[in-house]
Amino acid sequence: MLAAWFTVAHDSGAGWVQTIGALVAGALVVGLVAPLIAVLRLRVRVVSNPADALARVPATLQVSLSAPAEVRAVHPPGPVALSGRSPSTALEVVPARRGVVETCTLEIASAAPFGLVWWTRTLTVPLARPMAVAPRVGTPAREVLDEVPDAPRLSAMRGRGTATRGARPYEPGDPRRLVHWPASAHAGRLMVRETDRQSPRTVAVDGTLPENPAAADEQAGRVLATVVELLGQGCRVQLRTVEPGRVVVDTVAGAATASRRLALALPRDDDR
pLDDT in tens, 121-155: 999 999 999 999 999 998 888 777 765 555 444 34
CA 237/CA 245 separation, integer angstroms? 23
What was the pLDDT predicted at 178? 81
**pLDDT cut 90: percent of the chain above it:** 35
The residues that bridge with 14 in the sheet, in sequence order, are none
What was the pLDDT predicted at 1? 66
Above 50 in pLDDT, residue 104?
A: yes
Distance of CA 3 to the CA centre of its chain: 57
Fold of 12-134: Immunoglobulin-like (2.60.40)
CA 241/CA 250 separation, integer angstroms? 9
Indicate the SS3 state at residue 93: strand
Q: What is the pTM of this model?
A: 0.67
Sketch the domain layout of the chain as residue ranges.
Answer: 12-134, 142-149+200-264, 154-198
91, 127, 114: which is closest to 38 by C-alpha? 114
